[in-house]
Structure 1
Amino acid sequence: MVIKPHDAIVRQRGDIAGMYAQDKGGSAVAGAILLAEGGYNLLKNPKGTWQALKSVFSSEKGFTVNPTKFDYFFGKVTSGSEHNITRSAQNLKDLTTLGVKTEAQLTKVFSNALESGIVMSTKTSQYGTTVTKSINVGNNGALNVSFFYKGGNMSSTPSVTTIIPKIAR
């Protein structure tokens, strides 16, 4: 479930359980049970659950980011393919050079890219459409951000899939 900014009033009223239940086609009681399960998961794994919630609520501009992507973007990948480990470390170095040091800063860059970035490419496959936009970041370069629209539905909420830092030399 992606909660858009216009749902903020509903969230402020504390009606998350009812909203969740409506989204899932059930009753508010079912939503309360599911919300309670979520609260239990939060207690078991607060950091992981908080990161997942941040990815859903991360943008007032309307995009999502898989929380594990931030590990890749900030050099925290230490297992798996050598390519991914090396690329993750390079992402950290390049983002630091651009002055982007936190998830919140990177999320703001994503918002700026989505809203006012220059379209560099658009590619469509059987799975959907990827639009890559470029946005200047400080005086040190730019960041190419790829947004994926599942099924090619350009009015849906895109997911951030890839970043390519471009450092000014």
Structure 2
Amino acid sequence: MATRRWRRPQPGRSRLPPRARRVSTIRNQTRRHARPGDRCLDDLHLHADYAAMTTPPDPAAFFRQMLGEWEKMANGFGGEAMKSEEWARAMHGASAATTNMQATLKGVMERALAAANMPSRTELEDVSARLARIEASLARIEAATTDPDAAAPRPGPARTRKPPAA
């Protein structure tokens, strides 16, 4: 692909794109013919129009707009569907089926673990709770048997006798 070289604009020609040139011309004409106190086009509007003309279109804007429309339609349809009695029955049936499936799977896993001579989850939880109770009672026993004065050195017996005089 050939690249275009930059050229200095010719005198009397504008660097602006054609639509921006039209806006610029309209702005100049309105300023030329405006009397003091007249309301003419504001420069901020002209700059915004020029920015809108020169910025490339956002390729994701169409996708965002379509996604927003789809969400509105889905929310409308879903809201109407959830109000119906059939929807409530279907959801109740689905939740009951899920609960039954979980109970069945739990039984199958317990039988498989028993066949492999491994503890199940409930057995491990029971052992863990029992171990925690044993550790708590052991801590209570240690606290009761440990005398705080036993850790300090005991003073020797009082010496009431005097050594023989030499």
Bigger relative contact order, structure 1 or 2 (CA pairs below 8 A, ≥6 apart): 1
- Normalising by structure 1, we get a TM-score of 0.21
Determine which structure has the larger helix proportion and give its number.
2
**If you compute each CA radius of gyration, which structure gives the higher value, 1 or 2?**
2
TM-score, normalised to structure 2, is: 0.21
